[in-house]
Amino acid sequence: PVGPGRGSAAGSLVAYSLRITDLDPIAYGLIFERFLNPARKSLPDIDIDFCIEGRDSVFKYVVEKYGGPNHVAQIITFGKMQARAAIRDVGRALDIPLREVDRIAKLIPDAANITLEQALSREPRLKELIEEQPHIKKLFIIARALEGLPRHASTHAAGVVISDRPLVEYLPLAKGKKGEVVTQYDMKAVERIGLIKFDLLGLRNLTVMKEACEIIRKRGGVAPDLAHLDLTDRKTFELLASAQTTGVFQLESSGMKDLLLRLKPACFEDIIALVALYRPGPLDSGMHDQFVKRKNGQVPVTYLLPELEPILKDTYGVILYQEQVMNIASVLADYSMAEADNLRKAMGKKIADIMAQERERFLSRAKGRGVDLEKAENIFDLIEKFGRYGFNKAHSAAYAMIAFQTAYLKAHFAVESMAAILTSEMGSTEEVVKYIAECRNQGIEVLPPDINESDMSFTVVDGKIRFGLAAVKNVGHGAIESILKVRGQGGLFSSFFDFCERVDFRKVNRRVVESLIKSGAFDSTGARRSQIMSVLEETLEVGQKTQRDRRSGQFSLFETMGLDSRQTIYPPFPEIEEWNEGELLNYEKESLGFFITGHPLAKYEPILHKFANADTEKLHDLSEGRVVRIGGIIRDYKLHNDRKGEAMAFVTLEDLSGLAEVVLFSSVYSSVSGLIEKDSAIMVEGRVTRDEKSSKILADTVIPIDAAEGTWTTSVHLNLRITDLDKQGLQKLCDIL
C-alpha cells in the first residue's frame, strides 16, 4: 500500500486527481502554492510513503526504469556534531572523567537544535564553570570549533536522485555499507547542482495496516476499506478520547496521550491539529494549552477581525498552520499566494531584516484594504509569534489520516491490529515487550508459540494472539518454512515424537528444537516441557537415524507390516514434575526474549502502584533532571571501570511497559553491588538524563523492591470511626501499633 500523502504535495488538486495523494485539498483548505510557488527557484518535492515491504521493490523498479545504477542513486546524509555530542566526544578525548562530562552535558538546556553559544547564554552555571576551571574552558573552545561538523555518514532513509545523463558527470559516487550506490553530495547540494530528488519512504504503519487486513480476511471477516472510512466513527473517537492509543500512528507517546486526554478530539480536524501541536515549537510556546482551553470552552474563542473567523475557526482562533498565515496575508493584505508563501518561509527562517520588510509591506497593504493600523500591527505580531511554529497542514492532514486509519483498526479489530503490530516489531525486544503489555491492558491474551497453530508471524486464534515461530530465538526462516511445509503436507503433529520423525533435521537442528520446547511450542501435544527436554537427546538421535534409513531405502520390520513403530522406538516420557513458575518464565525469556505466560513483576504491582511515579513508557517524555522512582526486573547489566578505575554498572531494567537503561556510578554501585544480579527485582530513584536518541536514569538510590514500603513510607494515615473508639477498640489499636 501507498500512504495518503506526505508533505506539501497533498495541497495539489492535480496530484489528488491522479491518485498520487488521497486527500481532497479543497475540503481541507490546503494551498497549491505551498507545494509549487512560481516565485520559488527550487523544484517542488513529492514525497511518497510506501509500506516497508514494498519500498525496496519500488526503488528497484525506479533503477530499472530510468537507466540503471549509472542514472539512479540513493543520497548520502551526514550526521552533524550536536552540542551535547560535541561535549561528550571532546571530553572523552581530553580524558575528563565521565561523570564530570555528563554533568556538563546535562546543563545544556533540553531544546531542539540548541547550540553551545545559545546554551551559554541560557545557563549561567556553564559560564561559571568556564570562568573557574581552565580544563572546562578548553573543552568548550574545542567543542565549539567542532560543533556542526559532520560526525558520520550514512545512506538517507528515503532520498533518491534520478538523472538523464550518467551521474558521474555531475557528482562523485560511493558505495554504502550494504553495497548500494550513493551520492557523495547531500540532498541540499544535489538540488543546488540541478538534479531532481525524490523521497521514497518506507513507513512501518502501512505494512501493519496491510497485515491487519490480511489477518481479518484469513479469519473470514470483511476488512475495512481504509481509503473510504467514516471519519465521524464513534468507536474510533471514543478510543482517541480515552488515549488508548499505544500502536496508533503519531499518537502513542505518553506526552501525546496526555494531550489526547485533555483535548478529547471529536472530529477529524482535531486529529489534524494534534499532529501539528505535538512538536517542540508549539509545546514550548504554550500553544497547545491555548488550543485545549479554547476547544474545551475554558477560554472564549475571539477573533481580532471578523475576516479571521473562516480562516481560524477549525483551530479555535489559534494560528496553527502555515496555510493559515498565508490565507491571513492574502485576505487582509492582498498578498498573492506566491507572496504569502514567501512570507511563510521568512517567518520560519526568522531573518530580522526580511521580517522588517514584510511587516512594512503587510501594514501598508492592510491599511489600503481599510484595516485599522493598530489591529493590523496586532495581527502581524500574532502571526509572527505563532507563524514561526506553524506546521504544514497538508502534511499534518495526510498523517492524521494514517492516525485515524490505525485508530479505526484498533477500535474495531483490536486483536488483529495488535497481532499485526507485534509481527512488525518482531526484531525489537523492547517494542514487543511494550505491545504485549498493551495487549494485557486491553484484555487480549497472548499465547506462546505452538507447533500446530503458529505461522511464521503472529496470528489470531479464537480471539487470542498466537506467537509467530519467527519470534523464537535460534529458529530461522529456513527451519520455519520446513516445519510449515511438513505440517501442511502431513497434517498436525500428534506428538513430539511425530514431529521428530517428520521434520527435516538438515534444516531443523537441535538448537531449533530446544528453543521451541522452552518457548512452549509443544505444550499442545500433551507432554510437559520438562518431560520433553529430558528425552530430547535420545529422541533426536532416533529421529535422525530413522530419516537416514528412509533416505537410504531401509525400513523397519514394523513399517513393512504397516504398524506404528514409534511407541517401541522412542523413549517413554519420565514421570517428573513440570518446571516451577520461575523456571518456566526464565526459559520463555531465554527462548523468546520476554515473558509470555506471566511476569515476575506482576506480584509487585501493588508496590509499584504506591511508590513508582514513572514507568519505562513515560520515561521518554520526561524532562532532563526529573527525579523519578521506577521499579523493575534486572534483565541484564554490564560492569565498567570509570576513569578512576572504580566499578560502575549499566543496568537494563524491565517493567510491565518495556525496558530502560539505568546508570549506577561508582559511588552508588559500591554500596548496592550485591543487588545487581540478573532477574533481581529492584526499585530505583534517580534523575532522567536525555541525549539525541534515548532517555536514561542516573541512579541515586537502589533498593530491593520488597523493601520499598519500609524504606519510603514516611507516614501512615488512619481513618477511624468514632463508634469503634471504645475501650476494647482502643486496646486493639494499641496492640497493632
More confident residue, 582 or 272: 272
Of 73, 107, 104, residue with least CA distance to 90: 104
Which 3 state secondary structure label does DSSP give 266? coil
What contacts 401, CB < 8 A, 6 or more positions away?
A: 4, 5, 22, 23
> H/E element holding 160?
strand 150-162
Q: Is the pLDDT of residue 380 over 80?
A: yes
CA distance 674 to 662: 16
pLDDT of residue 554: 57
End-to-end C-alpha distance for the chain, whole angstroms? 67
Of 105, 100, 101, 131, residue with least CA distance to 116: 105
Domain ranges across the chain:
82-148, 210-398, 449-592, 602-712
Encode pLDDT of 288-307 as tens digits: 999 999 999 999 999 999 99
Pairing of strands 627-641, 196-203: unpaired
What contacts 180, CB < 8 A, 6 or more positions away?
A: 74, 155
What mean pLDDT comes out for the span 617-646? 86
Rounded to 5 degrees, φ, ψ at 507 are: -115, -25
Q: Is the pLDDT of residue 222 over 50?
A: yes
**CA Rg value for the chain:** 31
The per-residue pLDDT of the chain, averaged, comes to: 88
> H/E element holding 606?
helix 605-611
Q: Is the pLDDT of residue 39 over 80?
A: no
CA distance 633 to 627: 20
DSSP label of 18: T
What mean pLDDT comes out for the span 457-474? 93
CA distance 501 to 496: 9
Residue 333 grid cell: 493584505
Encode pLDDT of 562-588 as tens digits: 545 444 477 889 999 999 988 999 899
Of 440, 404, 426, residue with least CA distance to 22: 404
The amino acid that residue 167 corresponds to is: L
What contacts 477, CB < 8 A, 6 or more positions away?
A: 456, 470
Encode pLDDT of 653-687 as tens digits: 999 888 899 999 999 999 999 999 988 999 999 99
The amino acid that residue 296 corresponds to is: N
Of 599, 586, 436, residue with least CA distance to 520: 586
Q: Is the pLDDT of residue 136 over 60?
A: yes
pLDDT of residue 567: 45
Burial 253-286 (b: 16+ CB within 10 A, else e): bbebbebbeebbbeebbbbbbbbbbbeeebeeee
pLDDT of residue 568: 42
CATH superfamily of 82-148: Bacterial DNA polymerase III alpha subunit, thumb domain (1.10.10.1600)
Per the rule left: phi > 0, alpha: psi between -120 and 50, beta: everything else, 112 is beta
Of 675, 673, 666, 678, residue with least CA distance to 708: 675
CA distance 425 to 435: 9
pLDDT of residue 356: 86
CA distance 364 to 334: 10
CA distance 565 to 543: 12
Residue 141 grid cell: 573552545
More confident residue, 24 or 568: 24
Encode pLDDT of 524-561 as tens digits: 999 999 999 999 999 988 888 887 877 776 555 445 55
Rounded to 5 degrees, φ, ψ at 573 are: -70, 135
pLDDT of residue 555: 55
| CB 217, CB 414: distance < 8 Å | no
**Among 133-142, 331-340, 543-552, where is mean pLDDT lowest?**
543-552
What mean pLDDT comes out for the span 243-269? 93
* Most trustworthy range by pLDDT among 11-25, 65-79, 360-374, 407-421: 407-421
Rounded to 5 degrees, φ, ψ at 59 are: -60, -40
Percent of the chain with pLDDT over 70: 96
| CB 290, CB 317: distance < 8 Å | no
Task: Please state the three-class secondary structure of 370-386 as a single string.
Answer: CCCHHHHHHHHHHHHHH
CA distance 75 to 199: 10
Residue 257 grid cell: 496521550
> H/E element holding 48?
strand 47-51
Of 636, 620, 236, 639, residue with least CA distance to 434: 620
DSSP label of 229: -
pLDDT of residue 551: 72
What contacts 531, CB < 8 A, 6 or more positions away?
A: 573, 574, 576
Q: Tell which CATH classification among 3.40.50.10090, 2.60.120.260, 2.40.50.140, 3.40.50.300 matches the domain 602-712.
A: 2.40.50.140
Q: Is the pLDDT of residue 227 over 70?
A: yes
CA distance 347 to 387: 6
Residue 651 grid cell: 543496568
| CB 243, CB 257: distance < 8 Å | yes
Q: Is the pLDDT of residue 282 over 60?
A: yes
Percent of the chain with pLDDT over 90: 55
The amino acid that residue 233 corresponds to is: D
pLDDT of residue 292: 93
Considering the entire predicted model, what is its pTM? 0.81
Per the rule left: phi > 0, alpha: psi between -120 and 50, beta: everything else, 153 is beta
Encode pLDDT of 480-536 as tens digits: 999 999 999 999 999 999 999 899 888 999 999 999 999 999 999 999 999 999 999
What mean pLDDT comes out for the span 241-268? 93
| CB 73, CB 159: distance < 8 Å | no
What contacts 289, CB < 8 A, 6 or more positions away?
A: none
pLDDT of residue 122: 81
pLDDT of residue 716: 66
pLDDT band (50, 70, 90) for residue 724 = low
